Structure 1
Amino acid sequence: MAWCFRNIRRHMCMLMRQNFAKSCESKLNDQINMELKACHQYLAMAYHFDRSDISSPGLHRFFLQSSAEEREHAEKIMKYMNKRGGLIVLSSVPEPLPCFASSLDALKHALKMELEVNQHLLDLHALAGEESDPNLCDFIEANFLQEQVDGQKILADYVCQLEKAHSDVGDYLFDKYMGAGMHTGK
């Protein structure tokens, strides 16, 4: 009986589905899972820098905020999928890297993740164009592309600043800068 009701509800979703290619739906599911993977990794990074033997409250706060933003992105895409009549398919999230040798290594890893997420968004946008889905193109442009570029610039600046620091004192001062809220955030 429960199967019957689920089938009817799924059929109702399909009734409102218009100009939403299965390839776009699949790529959006990949994007959701990529955002959740980044959320998970940033959360692990945040609490790595919160450890008493690391004690970098600025980076802890930055990565915690980054984790929340990635989760918001995933939720935004899931809401969009429901509006378009798509089916959300969540996969298991891989185990994050547990720790980093330095703040610089963590920020380089974050920048690499953001570049991968951005490339996937660009590929999704191109696919939406190929599938003649202007609504999906607009959704990606309005909600993600500029924010990704801005976030990449911030991370690249942080990497550059830490590369110039070259010392534990430089790391300490950078973290104080982060903790003081002097950055614009990701």
Structure 2
Amino acid sequence: MKIIAGLVLLCVAVTSAQLQCEHRKPKVPTDWLDMVDPCVEKMRSQVMEELKAAMQYMAMGAHFSKDSVNRLGFSKLFFEAASEEREHAIKLISYLLMRGELTSKVSDLIKRSLSPQVSTWDSGISALRDALKLEASVTKKIRDVIITCENAPSYNDYHLVDYLTGEFLEEQYKGQRDLAGKVSTLDKMMDKHGALGEYLFDKKLLSGDL
């Protein structure tokens, strides 16, 4: 038994010595990679824009959930918006992976500062207006990605352009229209009822009626 145990330990020691923590870089063919550099860089930058928008919405949600503010409808709205922006970032990362353009510098996508620019708001309507401006900014940057990828000198990336147009732009435009409608409704409610108007609007948000 001692001999067998010794042989087992020897085999384990030899096997452990042969194990490596890192593999050599695989030789993957690159013939299928066809995204041009300006387009890739724009896409990588857009990941950051979506994450920054998510963090800004997180700050909005946190602000309105504070006991001193207690507007849980607004908080719900903005936390849900934060989740949507994060999902957008994941979709862009997944697309880059599908196209083989995320094999290096992955950590660079998210290691830069993501601190929100604003963390407090005087009222719900000021936050909604900021949210609308934020969405308009994100939409503009998505359009910039589309223009870059469509008009690259050596390659019109029509697949990516179609993906961004159908998957992202339509959602952006619908979201902007929804926010603009909320701003208009809340503005009219506050004009007639003041702070009570914001309170009632918040309850509508919380119940899902707006």
Q: What is the TM-score of this pair, normalised by structure 1?
A: 0.89
- Residue among 78, 81, 98 paired with 1:66: 81
Change in 2 beyond 3 A, CA 1:76/1:16: farther
Instruction: Show the 5 A alignment for 1:62-101.
Output: 62-87=77-102, 88=106, 89-90=108-109, 91-96=111-116, 97-101=118-122
How many residues of Structure 1 are paired with residues of Structure 2 in the alignment?
Answer: 179
Gaps of 5+ in 2: 1-19
Query: What residue identity is the alignment partner of 1:175?
Result: D
Query: What residue identity is the alignment partner of 2:81?
Result: S
**Alignment-derived partner of residue 108 in structure 1:** 129
**Displacement of 1:109 after TM fit?**
0.7
1:161 and 2:192 correspond:
no
Q: Which whole-Å CA distance do the structure 2 matches of 1:119 and 1:42 have between them? A: 18
Instruction: Show the 5 A alignment for 1:42-53.
Output: 42-53=57-68
SS at match of 1:77: helix
SS at match of 1:99: coil
- Residue among 35, 43, 59 paired with 2:50: 35
Query: What residue identity is the alignment partner of 1:62?
Result: L
| 1:107 and 1:159 in contact (8 A); partners too | yes
Q: Which whole-Å CA distance do the structure 2 matches of 1:94 and 1:23 have between them? A: 23
1:180 and 2:207 correspond:
yes
Q: Which whole-Å CA distance do the structure 2 matches of 1:16 and 1:125 have between them? A: 24
1:22 and 2:24 correspond:
no
Higher-Rg member (1/2): 2
The 4+ residue runs of structure 1 with deviation greater than 4 A are 1-4
Query: What residue identity is the alignment partner of 2:161?
Result: C
1:135 and 2:156 correspond:
no
Query: What residue identity is the alignment partner of 1:53?
Result: S
Identity of aligned residues (%): 32
**Alignment-derived partner of residue 144 in structure 1:** 168
**Alignment-derived partner of residue 171 in structure 1:** 198
| 2:33 and 2:101 in contact (8 A); partners too | no
**Displacement of 1:19 after TM fit?**
2.2
**Displacement of 1:41 after TM fit?**
0.7
CA deviations 1:80-117 (Å, max 9, x no partner) are 01111113431423321111111011111111110000
Q: Which whole-Å CA distance do the structure 1 matches of 2:113 and 2:179 have between them? A: 24
Q: Which whole-Å CA distance do the structure 2 matches of 1:75 and 1:93 have between them? A: 18
Query: What residue identity is the alignment partner of 1:108?
Result: R
CA deviations 1:130-162 (Å, max 9, x no partner) are 120011112102210100000000111111112
Bigger Cα displacement from structure 2, 70-79 vs 52-61: 52-61
Question: Superposition RMSD on alpha carbons, in Å?
Answer: 1.8
CA deviations 1:30-57 (Å, max 9, x no partner) are 1100000010111111111111111111
Gaps of 5+ in 1: none
**Alignment-derived partner of residue 120 in structure 1:** 141
Q: Which whole-Å CA distance do the structure 1 matches of 2:45 and 2:188 have between them? A: 37
